[in-house]
Structure formats: structure tokens, C-alpha cells
Amino acid sequence: MNLTLLQYRIAFENPELNIATIERLLNLVENPDLIVLPEMFTTGFSMNTAQYAENMNGKSVNWMVQKAALLNTTIIGSLIIEENGKYYNRLVAAHSNGNIQYYNKRHLFRMGEENNHYTAGNNRIILDIAGFRICPLICYDLRFPVWSRNTDNFDMLVYVANWPSVRADVWNTLLKARAIENQCYVAGVNCTGTDGNNILYKGESQIINAKGQYIRNPETRDECVISTTLSISKLQDFRKQFPVLLDRDSFNIIA
């Protein structure tokens, strides 16, 4: 599978400029099966839900659908979505055939008052792309291993984020941990620069294999396109040689 991550400075609460930045970076991408954008890719980590929320028929989702069809790929990223009077930090997956899947962020970052402005989701999704089963999650979800737990139903975890530089060590440590404990590939996509609340982000987007080794390391802090080709057969071979998932806990209480 050809995987591409887009890391860039999100212009705070400026959807038009952010779409223009993504369009420019997409000119550098060749034959992607999956393109991953950061969390809240149109606005940055905004609590101004009423002003910047869109719906599933809005401009940004339509742009994702059209671009996915044009590039014959799947594009994922989260944005502010309003539905039935509620606001969600929603990851949208737009497929090349026009189909859409979505995941509402489960764990809302209360230290940033996200829980006061958004409604939490309850269900994960699995994307089937180029022979891979992919579980996409959002930022703060990374801290909760039970929510990320692999019951042998996915081959890769993808985290889209606005993860501040002050907690970069946590980002790097937990991404590796999720790869090792779930015996899967992990991709983490972060933004860079400073947002409208003077919070600094230094990128460090990365791709890790099931052994916890970097395929693409987290050293890059500038705007960049990160692309690589992942092998499902290598992952399957490793799982056969070292079948950790067969010994996972069922969490049934034994008296």
C-alpha cells in the first residue's frame, strides 16, 4: 500500500487557506492509496464550533470526495461537523468511488475544553484499503490503549492529531507502544507551527512497523510530504513467526 502523510502549518480558522495548502502539497504526491491529513485540517484545534462547523454535504467534505475520485485514492482527516444540533470532531474517509465512512472522536481533550464543545463518539471504524484493514483514530485517543486495542481486526492504526510540542515525548512514546502492543503498523500525522492560541506544534509525523521500528522517523518539523510503501505480507509473516495476538486477554473475569 502506498501511504502518504501531509504535515503542514494549519492556518488557524482559515479553511480556504488550508485547502489551498493541501492542494499545493498534493501536487508532490504520486499514486497514493491513502492520503492522511491532520486533525481539524481546515481550522486547527478550534472551539468556535458554531462559526466553523460544516455538515456532511458541505464544502470541505465535497472537496475530499472530488479529490479522492480525481486521484483514485482515499483521503482521511478530521474536521468540525454539525449534525442534529450537535458538534463532532469527525474523521471523514472519502473513497475514490464516492463512498464515505466517518468516525467521531471518542476521547475529548478536556484540558482544552473540547468536552464542553463537542459530543463524543462511540464506535470505531475499519477502512479496507489496498489489502489493509485500517483503524483511524484522533489525537487524544492515543492515550487510551483499550480503545486502540487490536482484536486481530486491523493491520494499521492511523492517528490524526494537533499534538503540542510540549508533549512531544508522549506522542513519540505512545505511537511506538501502540505499534508493538497491537502488532501493527502505526502512522501518526501531526501539524506544525503555532496556532491562534499560541500553542506550538512541531510535527514529528511518523510511520512505525509492528516491531516498533521507524519506517519514517519523527525528526521532520517543517512542512512536508511523507510517503512510503507498506507490505501486508511482511506484517503477516511477522505475526505468524511471533503470534502475540493469539495470547491477548479476553478481559473475562475469572473467579
**How is residue 234 written as a grid cell?**
511482511
Q: Which residue in the block uniquely carries the three cell numbers 504526491?
A: 29
Q: Is the dihedral of CA 36, 210, 123, 127 positive or negative?
A: positive
Q: How large is the angle between the packed helices 59-71 and 15-26, nearest 10 degrees?
A: 10
**Distance of alpha carbon 38 from alpha carbon 59, whole angstroms:** 18
Q: Is the dihedral of CA 223, 155, 104, 106 positive or negative?
A: negative
The three-class DSSP label of residue 14 is coil
CA dihedral 227, 232, 238, 244 (to 10 degrees): 100
**Distance of alpha carbon 185 from alpha carbon 160, whole angstroms:** 14
Q: Which residue in the block uniquely carries the three cell numbers 513519540?
A: 172
**Distance of alpha carbon 120 from alpha carbon 202, whole angstroms:** 27
Give strand pairing partners of 247: none
As annotated, the active-site residues are 39, 105, 139
- Distant-in-sequence, close-in-space partners of 124: CB < 8 Å, separation ≥ 6: 103, 106, 135, 137, 147
